[in-house]
Amino acid sequence: MALALGAQKSRFLLVGLVLVHLAVISHQVDAGGGISLLQRAVFSLLSPLQSGLSGAVRGVAAGWRGWIDLRRVHQANQRLEERVRYVETLLQERQHQAREADRLRELLALRQALPLETIAAEVVTRDGVPWFRTLTIDRGRDAGVALEAAVISPTGVLGRVIAVGPRAAKVQLLQDRESGAGVVVERSRVAGVVSGQLGFADAGPTDLVMKYVPALADVVVGDVVVTSGMDRIYPKGLVVGTVRVVGPGSGLFKEILVAPAARPDQIEEVLVVKAVEAPPVLDESVK
């Protein structure tokens, strides 16, 4: 019995010694890649566990980072939306200022070119329909605006002042049926009178009618029509419009339609000519 126990113990000892030696030897032997067999065995055993743990940790970390990033992105998005709204408002304001500056620049250029004393005014109200017959400006008697004063824009003649208050004035546009201005065809110097076609409640054409032009007069489509100065309201040489239609008319006169140069529906700033004693002579640059 004792012998059997001793033999069994020695076998266990043998197995233990063999295993220990195998471990010791494998630890010293390079299995390629600079690691020992023991290390490789340990790595092989533990690497799946390590990989799993590492993957789990990475997943949790990635999820956490994603959540944090999402919150940051959300906050950044809100900030950016506010910023965009602010910038859009600013942009609209700047664009408005730029357009206004352009208009004022044109107006200033016209004012400097005119051999007349003028008052800059801003349009404050219109008739409220596309076919404006009158408009109101923010300068009146206090600023030197007088009745019958001519009102012009950088693109052409607008009309005349028909009512004046201390700080505002009403302007009758050339498109009004009751208006009138002495004009000449710039090329052929054929004279006539233009007036509007719109009545109080009309919604008709905005072209001006050039009247009293003889049937044999030299007027063709495209001719530029300018003020003649003969009406003692509008200075001589201001652009009124362009001949759009020339017809035979009835009787002694041609039927001529003139497209007005000024666009009352787009005008925001105008120049009011101060009292004119005599029709001044305009040079070519004004025309």
Question: Among 21, 74, 79, 85, which residue interacts with another protein (rule: CB under 8 A)?
Answer: 21
Give the nearer residue to another protein in terms of CB position, either 37 or 146.
37
Give the nearer residue to another protein in terms of CB position, either 7 or 101.
7
The residue among 200, 194, 145 whose CA lies nearest residue 170 is: 145
Q: Which stretch binds another protein (CB under 8 A): 28-36, 45-53, 144-152, 278-286?
A: 28-36
Going by the DSSP 8-state scheme, the letter that residue 274 receives in this structure is P
Q: Which stretch binds another protein (CB under 8 A): 19-27, 76-84, 99-107, 233-241?
A: 19-27
Report if residue 84 touches another protein, rule: CB under 8 A: no
Give the nearer residue to another protein in terms of CB position, either 37 or 113.
37
Task: Specify the residue for token string 């000519």.
Answer: 273
Q: Which stretch binds another protein (CB under 8 A): 20-28, 192-200, 239-247, 252-260?
A: 20-28
Task: Kindly state the smallest distance separating residue 41's Cβ from another protein, in Å.
Answer: 13
Report if residue 10 touches another protein, rule: CB under 8 A: yes
Give the nearer residue to another protein in terms of CB position, either 7 or 68.
7
Q: Which stretch binds another protein (CB under 8 A): 27-35, 121-129, 222-230, 273-281?
A: 27-35
The Cα–Cα gap between 4 and 10 comes to 10
Report if residue 39 touches another protein, rule: CB under 8 A: no
Distance of alpha carbon 189 from the chain centroid: 41
The Cα–Cα gap between 5 and 51 comes to 45
CA-to-CA separations, 2 to 5, 9, 13, in angstroms, rounded: 5, 10, 16
The residue among 258, 26, 234 whose CA lies nearest residue 116 is: 234
**Main-chain dihedrals φ then ψ at residue 72, nearest 5 degrees:** -65, -45
Question: Among 4, 28, 92, 265, which residue interacts with another protein (rule: CB under 8 A)?
Answer: 28
Give the nearer residue to another protein in terms of CB position, either 18 or 163.
18
Task: Kindly state the smallest distance separating residue 28's Cβ from another protein, in Å.
Answer: 5
Task: Kindly state the smallest distance separating residue 23's Cβ from another protein, in Å.
Answer: 9
| Sequence-distant (≥ 6) Cβ neighbours of residue 146 within 8 angstroms | 161, 164, 274, 275
Token reading at 201: 């409640």
If DSSP codes are grouped into helix, strand and coil, which group holds residue 127? coil
- End-to-end CA gap in the chain: 137
If DSSP codes are grouped into helix, strand and coil, which group holds residue 235? coil
Give the nearer residue to another protein in terms of CB position, either 30 or 82.
30
Total residues found in the chain within this entry: 287
Residues in the site for another protein, rule: CB under 8 A? Answer: 3, 6-7, 9-10, 13-14, 17-18, 21-22, 24-26, 28-29, 31, 37
